[in-house]
Each structure stands twice: as structure tokens, then as C-alpha cells.
Amino acid sequence: MVRSIVLMFEVHQPYRLKRRFPLNLLKNYLEGRLDSLELMKSLFDHDKDRKIFLRVSKKCYIPTTRILLNLIEELSTKCRISLSISGIWIEQAKKYSPETLDVFTEIVATGCVDLICQTYYHSLASLHPDGLEEFLEQVMLHRGLMRDIFNYDPISIENTEFLYNNDIASSVYRLGFKTMLTEGVERVLGFRSPNYVYRAYDCDLRLLLRNCRLSDDIGFRFSDRSWNQYPLTADKYSLWLRNTPGDLVLVAMDYETFGEHHWPESGIQEFLAWLIRRCIEQGIEMLTVSMAGLKYEVRDIYDIPPWHTISWADIEKDTSAWLGNLMQKRCFEMYTWIEPYVKAIGGEYLNYWRLLGTSDHYHYMSLKTGGPGEVHSYFSPYTNPFEAFETYVEALTFLIHSSLVEYREHVSRYAWRLRLPPRMSFQFYLTEGVHTGYSARGLDDLLRLLDVVPPESLVYHIRRGDLQMWISTTILWPELSHEIDRVRKISKIELLVRELKRIVESARTP
């Protein structure tokens, strides 16, 4: 018999893109009457976001949270839940429904709610080909937001859609998190049960694994009249829990399950209230994520190499919900390519880039059929995946164009902020195939390495035009490249290196 239940609810709404590019605004932009940031803002369908947020607040967020507040008052500290609230959900709550944010603040203040950290933008940052730097930045942004809004410092974390692998686990453990949530995937577990605490590979991060069947019985099957267990009652479900072997059951799903995915008329909100009462009556302890992670001993290691990343999405439980077809993959390649330039600019360009990294945009482009296809279609504001692809490409293309225009207009400032990924860095060789062990990810690195790299290597690259090409096509500063190319004709090595350093130093904007 299971001893504890952990209820964790994901609270998230994306910023949706408009289906049609605003050609009248594009005309104004091209004629100089509208700046790029104003046009970028207009690509998002704020009217639709507001209507959806207000509708879901009325049907789900406010009534469900008030039900939980009443239960906490009735049952005291015996009623405990965990919430993972995206940063962009909080942004929308502030703009569209402060009352909704107030009720969430009220329930967190009871002390019976554990806030779970996640990526601020509910993004695919952990899937970036160049590492986890952006993922960790968004985690820190979200952690700061939880402190600012709720005066809460999370010690537990989940990644977007429960995306997980060993590298992700190690990175969040180094940030001080104690417990992480992910999916209990059958092909990984084998004979093992998800209903125990596990440990991440190669670090002491505790893991709670979502019980997929029991979670989806509520999340997807509650209103399904063709289901052989319909109708699902609190008595029936609590009995299932009671007869489930293990230490604990993690039941995790979208918060919108309670009033939006299943409408209030279905009885879903009453089911939640009575389920909590029945669990407590039957001696099933309600724990938060953080409590459960520390209460039970670790039973085994959950080993997920980066090349086998898992998630809670679809039947496959992998990354295919977002990067499973060519449209999704090509969009993500474009999206990650522009990252260093957008980060060099910062400000609203970086914000819009991160908004385009929200997982929902890629979820809409899925070509899956059957049950998973129905789920993707249900959440999508588009008529088909190709319309989602076209809409996203238009927005991303404009962001890339406007960002590069801004970067080039102020290249002497932004180029010094540019921090390239290793694959785009400049590699120093003595001769072909003989690497020096040095590489430059930007102009600061280059300037520092001019005193370290063997002069023969600098001469080798200058004579061949390698450094000039990198500065022109990757740093995107052809004017500096032309200046550097002038030293190619200097015969003495010492003079060539000295002049090269002078040119690079003089290019730095005070």
C-alpha cells in the first residue's frame, strides 16, 4: 500500500502568435515609420491571450484555487499541494487578471503549497545544441521571480514538460536544488516502479517520477465516456491509490485539467476536493514535492543519458513532441543560431527571442496522428501544423532580420558582448591539423589570446585569411576584418603581431 500522494500541478499559458503577418505594419516598418520592436510586439496575439486567460481564470484558476484554499482551512496542514508556475503565466496574470494572481498569492501564503522552479519561459532551452547555459539562465530568472512575487525560495525543480537527462540533473544540482521531477518511463524503469524516490546519475539529486497511468486517468480520461472505468469517482481513485505498491505516488498534470480541459460541469473540481478528503480519511499522507524528496530513502539510480532525453509528452515520452519532424528541427536550428547575437544586444530583442523559444510553438507543429495527434490539435490555435510552421517561421525570420540589423548598426558595441558557442569559436592552429589548444569565443577572448597564442599560429591564420574571415562572417564586422587584413603584408612576425593587437584594441568602444 502506498503511504503518500504528491499532487503537482503545472500552471502555464503561452504567448500566441497571430496567424497572419500584419502586412500594413510591415509596410510602415520598411518605410521607417515603425521600429522593429513595435512590429515584433504586434506579431503576438495579445487579444487572444487575454480572452483565453480570462476564460481559464473564470473556469479553472480562481474556482479551483478557492476550493483548495477551503480544503486547507478545513483540513489544516494535512492538505498539501505543489505548483509549478511559468514566468510568462505570471506576466499574463499581472496584465489580464490581477485577481487570479492574488488568489495564488493567498494559497502560497498558507504554507501548504510548495512552489516548484522551472524555466521562466517554459522553453526548450535544455535542448539547445550548445549546452545548458540558456536553460540555467532561465531557471535563475524563474527562481528570482518566485522570490519577488511569492517570497518563496524553491528547493525543488522540474524542467519544461518534464524534459530530463543526466546532464540536466547535474546542472540543477549544482544550483542547489534538492529534488527534481520527471516522468516514470516504462522502458527506463523496466521491472522497477515509479512509486519510489530515485537518485540522479552521478549526483545526489533526488528524483520523483510521475505515475503516468494514474496521472492520465485524471488528466485525459476523466471525461471519456468510452473508458471502461468511467465515471471516475474519488472513492474509486483513492482505492486505486491505496492498493498501489510503493512509498508514494506522484500525480502531476496541467492545472487547467480542473475546469478547462475538463469543464466544471463534468464534476472535475468536486472530484479533486473529495479525492483529497478521501486520501486523508484513508491514511494516505499528502506531501509536497520537497517533503517527499527528503522523507523517503533512495531506492535506485535513474540513468538517462543526454542522447535518450525523456519527457512526459505523448506515447514516446521523448523529445519528439517538439523536435520530431523536419519543420520543427529546422526552426530550432534557426532559433538557436541567432542566440549569441540576440544576447549581445539584450533587452527586448532577447525577451522576444526567449518568447519564441516557448515549447508550445513547437508543440503546434507536430505531425503526429492518433491519440498524440489529437492532443497536439487540441492545444493548437491553428487549423493545422503547417499553418503553425508558417506563422512561426515568419515571426522568427523577422526577429533574425531585425536583430542582425540592430547588431550591425552598433557593431562596435555589440561585437564585444558577443559570446559564441564552441562550434562557432575561432580555433588556433600552428599548421593544418596541429591545434594549439586555444580558441576564441569572442573579441575579448581574441584580445587576451594575442599575448598567449604562439606568434607562428597568428601569422599562419593571418596569411591564410582565416581570422579575417571569422571576424567578417561570424563576428559580423567586415570593417574590422579589412583593417586586420592590412597586416597580412607585414613580413616581420613581431611587427605583425604588434599591429594586429593594436588594431583589435583600438576597435573596442570606450
Question: Looking at residue 510, what is its pLDDT?
Answer: 64
At 251 the pLDDT is 98
Backbone angles phi, psi at 192, to 5 degrees: -80, 160
**Under DSSP, is residue 311 helix (H, G, I), strand (E, B) or coil?**
coil
pLDDT band at 152 (very low <50, low <70, confident <90, very high): very high
Q: What is the pLDDT of residue 21?
A: 78
* The C-alpha cell that represents 158 in the structure block: 522540474
239 confidence band (pLDDT: 50, 70, 90): very high
pLDDT attached to residue 90? 98
pLDDT at 33: 83
As to burial, measured by CB atoms within 10 angstroms (0-12 exposed, 13-18 middle, 19+ buried), residue 148 is exposed
- Whether 344 shows a pLDDT value over 70: the answer reads yes
| pTM score, whole prediction | 0.95
- Provide the 3-class DSSP secondary structure of residue 326: helix
- Is the pLDDT confidence value at 509 over 80? no
Question: What end-to-end distance do the CA atoms of the chain give, in Å?
Answer: 68
Q: What DSSP string runs through 447-496?
A: HHHTTTS-HHHHHHHHHHTHHHHHHHHTS--HHHHHHHHGGGG--SHHHH
- Whether 288 and 114 have beta carbons less than 8 Å apart is answered as yes
**pLDDT value at position 386?**
97
Asked if 3 contacts 111 with a C-beta cutoff of 8 angstroms, the reply is: no
Mean pLDDT of 370-388: 91
Buried b (16+ CB within 10 A) or exposed e, 22-39: eeebbeebeeeebebeeb
Q: Where are the alpha helices (DSSP H) in 15-113?
A: 23-30, 36-42, 46-56, 62-75, 87-96, 98-108
Range 72-85 average pLDDT: 96
Over residues 92-97, the mean pLDDT reads: 98
Mean pLDDT of the chain: 96
Task: Note the residue count of the chain.
Answer: 510
d(CA 296, CA 197) in angstroms, rounded, equals 6
pLDDT of residue 459 exceeding 90, the answer is yes
CB neighbourhood size of 469 (10 A): 14
Which pLDDT band, with edges at 50, 70 and 90, does 226 fall under?
A: very high
- The burial class, CB within 10 Å (0-12 / 13-18 / 19+), for 451 is exposed
* CB 93 within 8 Å of CB 131: no
H or E element that contains 362: helix 359-363
DSSP label at 130?
T
Alpha helices (H) along 194-259:
212-219, 234-242
Single out the residue of 133, 125, 61 nearest to residue 90, CA to CA.
61
For the annotated catalytic residues, the residue numbers are 161
Please name the residues in contact with 263: beta carbons below 8 A apart, sequence gap of 6 or more: 59, 223
